[in-house]
Amino acid sequence: MASSVERIPRLSFVLPAYGEADNLPKLLPRLLAQAELCDELEIIVVDDHSHDRTFAVLKEWGAKDPRIKALRLARNSGSHMAILCGLSAATGDVAVVLAADGQDPPEFTAELLDAWRKGHHVVWAVRSAREGETATTRLFSRLYYATMNRWSSVRLPPAGADFLLLDRRVVKALVEIPERNTSLLALITWLGFSQTELPYVKEARASGRSKWTFRKKVRLAIDSLLGFSTAPLRLATSVGLCFGGAGFLYAGALFVNKVSGGALFGDTSTEGWNALMIVVLVSSGMTMTMLGVVGEYLWRALEEVRGRPRFLAEDEVNIVLDQAPRASSRPLLARSSDTKASGVGA
C-alpha cells in the first residue's frame, strides 16, 4: 500500500509539452494523485511554445492548484531543452521526467522511488512494450540506440527510455553543463553516478498525434552522435585514406600499362573519359561530405562559444524564475522581458 511507503520530503515532476492541450487535463489529476508519495509535490510543465491552448490550460489548472507550475518558452527549443528548463526550476529531492502526452504512467513513480532509496541516483524506466506505436517507429528507435551504443562513448538502454528519475545531485550537475546541441539522455549517462533500469509498458496516446517527427528524430540522432562520438571524423579520415590509396594504385597501374605497351589496359590515349568523370564526381562528393562532417563539429563549437541562453521563458505560472539554479558563467533561464529591460537589441 502507498500509505506504508516512506514518504520523501519533496518530489518534482518535470514535463515538456508541445501541443498537449487535450492530454494535460487527463494527465494532471494522475500526477496530483502521487502526492501520497511525498510531503511536498510540485509539477513543472514547460510549454515548448505550443500553438494551441496548452499554456492556457496550464494557467487554468495553476490558478486552482499552486502545486501545478508552468513555464512557456519564448521560442520552440525542442523537448530536451524544455526538460532542462524544467529541471533548472525544480526544487525536489528527486525529479521525475516524463512526457506530457500521457504515455508514461505517473503511477510507476513509486517503483522508481524504491530503486532510488536503494542508492541509485538515476533510475531509467525502460520500455518493455510500446502500445500504439508503428513498426517503423520501433525500428528507428532500436536503430538509434544500437548506433549510439556501438559508436559513441555512452551506453543507453537498448530498448529506449525517456521516462526517468534523477537525484537532486544529478539535476544540479546536469543544469550546470552549458551544452546546447546535444542529447539530454546521452548526457545523463555520460555524467555517471549510480544508474539502474526498471521495465514498464509505454501506453498509447490518449489523443492527438505525436509531434516527434522524422525530421526531429534525424536531428537528434546527428546531435547525439556528433556530441558523444569521434566516429564520423574517423570515418572521414578513413575514406580519405582509401581514396588516396586508390589514386596511387591507379597511377601505378597506368605507369605499368604505359611501360608495358598497354599490357594491362591497352591503348588508353583516347579512352577512359567515362571512368575519369566517375572518379572525379565520386571523389568530389566524398570530399564535400567530409567537409560537411567537419563543419558540423565546427558549428557546434561556434554555438558554444557564442554563449547565447539555451532557452528563454516568456511567461510562467506559480514559479519564480530568479530561484532557478544557474551555471557559473551563463544564465540558464531568463524571461524575454529581462532582455528588453536591459536594452539589448533596442
Q: Which tens digits make up the pLDDT trace of 76-95?
A: 888 888 888 899 889 889 99
Overall domain count for the chain = 2
Per the DSSP assignment, residues forming a β-bridge with 15 are 45
Same domain, 205 and 278: no
| Span 176-199, pLDDT tens digits | 887 766 777 878 888 888 888 888
Whether pLDDT at 140 is above 50:
yes
- Domain-ending residue, one of 161, 181, 213: 213
Considering the domain architecture, whether residues 146 and 209 belong to the same structural domain is answered as: yes
Same domain, residue pair 75 and 117: yes
At 213 the pLDDT is 62
Q: Does 246 reside within a domain?
A: yes
Does 33 score more than 70 pLDDT?
yes
Nearest-angstrom CA–CA distance, 60 and 39: 24
Q: Are 255 and 159 in a shared domain?
A: no
Asked whether residue 301 is domain-assigned, the answer is yes
In a domain, 340, yes or no: no
| Maximum distance among all Cα pairs of the chain, rounded to whole angstroms | 93
What is the rounded CA–CA span in Å between residue 243 and residue 252?
14
Whether residue 237 sits in one domain with residue 170: no
Residue 293 structural domain: 231-306
pLDDT exceeds cutoff 50 at 345: no
Q: Flag whether 289 is in a domain.
A: yes
In a domain, 221, yes or no: no
Tens-place pLDDT, residues 148-179: 667 666 677 766 677 899 999 999 988 888 77
**125 close to 196: Cβ distance less than 8 angstroms:** no
- Number of Cβ within 10 Å of residue 275's Cβ equals 12
CATH number (domain holding residue 107): 3.90.550.10
Q: Is residue 329 part of a domain?
A: no
Highest mean pLDDT among 44-48, 253-257, 293-297: 44-48
Note whether residue 27 is domain-resident.
yes
pLDDT tens sequence across 260-286: 766 666 555 555 655 676 677 677 777
Report pLDDT digits (tens) over 48-64: 888 889 989 999 999 99
Q: 124 and 263 in one domain?
A: no
For 192-226, write each residue's pLDDT tens digit: 888 888 888 877 666 656 556 667 667 766 766 66
Q: What's the pLDDT score for residue 216?
A: 67
What was the pLDDT predicted at 344? Answer: 33
Asked, for residue 334, whether it belongs to a domain, the answer is: no
Report CA 318 to chain centroid distance, whole Å: 27
Contact residues for 23 (Cβ-Cβ < 8 A; gap 6+): 100, 101, 102, 205, 206, 207, 208
Instruction: Identify the band that residue 69 occupies on the pLDDT scale cut at 50, 70 and 90.
Output: very high
